[in-house]
Amino acid sequence: DAGITQSPRHKVTETGTPVTLRCHQTENHRYMYWYRQDPGHGLRLIHYSYGVKDTDKGEVSDGYSVSRSKTEDFLLTLESATSSQTSVYFCAIRESVSGANVLTFGAGSRLTVL
């Protein structure tokens, strides 16, 4: 997984509770991303970061916030989880491979909101 660790890998929580997912990378990549994967929708970008304290919204950012206080960690927070946020969440980093920018993904975090 190119030095990408997601935690927790599995979480079950109740509607209305806050949840934070962590993505940790060890290779000092500048760009980091959070995607969610749902049947029938593929992967959709939630938020991304292009440096410490620099973040921007993706296509499905409502209900989510992110923080990047240091290069190696990118946190995704659901302030008040809803059942529609039940999904598998993937973190990715952007790296250069043979001169091209490619995304490399973590193993995913499965979140169930009851």
| Site residues (vs another protein, CB under 8 A) | 1, 31, 33, 40-45, 48, 50, 56, 58-59, 90, 92, 94, 97, 100-108
Residue 54 or 79: which CB sits closer to another protein?
Answer: 54
Residue 1 or 79: which CB sits closer to another protein?
Answer: 1
Q: Write down the least CB distance from residue 16 to another protein, Å.
A: 28
Cα dihedral across residues 70, 12, 34, 56: positive or negative: negative
Q: Write down the least CB distance from residue 28 to another protein, Å.
A: 18
CA distance linking residue 51 with residue 69, whole number of Å: 9
Q: Write down the least CB distance from residue 106 to another protein, Å.
A: 5
Torsion of CA 48, 51, 17, 58, to 10 degrees: -20
CA distance linking residue 34 with residue 24, whole number of Å: 12
